[in-house]
Amino acid sequence: MCSIVNILADEGALGKTSLRLAKAPGNIGLTAGEGNLSKDCVVNISQILVVGRSRFASRIGVLPYNTRLRQTRDFA
């Protein structure tokens, strides 16, 4: 399992401009329903960092490992 959805602390904070950035290099767009998200979101994989579990109030959802593996591999 890959828990990249856990870094999306506030999925409601994204506007339409941010969602357009999903196609930019280093970004991955997630659609509502993926990983139990209620809205479309953008993950900036070029700025992922390690965060301790204690920093999260609750888990938003989890993506299956292969869901976005190709996109992250293509970026690297």
Q: Tell me: the pLDDT tens digits for 32-74?
A: 888 888 888 888 777 777 888 888 788 777 777 666 666 666 6
Structure tokens at 1: 């399992």
By C-alpha distance, which of 48, 46, 47, 41 is closest to 16?
Answer: 41
Least trusted range by pLDDT, from 5-9, 12-16, 43-47: 5-9
Predicted pLDDT at 16: 59
Q: Rounded CA gap, 45 and 38, in Å?
A: 20
Signed CA dihedral, 35, 75, 27, 47: sign only: positive
Number of domains in the chain: 1
Residue that is written with structure tokens 């959802």 in the block: 61
Predicted pLDDT at 73: 61
Is the confidence at residue 12, as pLDDT, over 60? no
* Confidence class for position 76, pLDDT limits 50, 70, 90: low
Range(s) of the domain holding residue 48: 4-75
Q: What one-character DSSP code corresponds to residue 38?
A: S
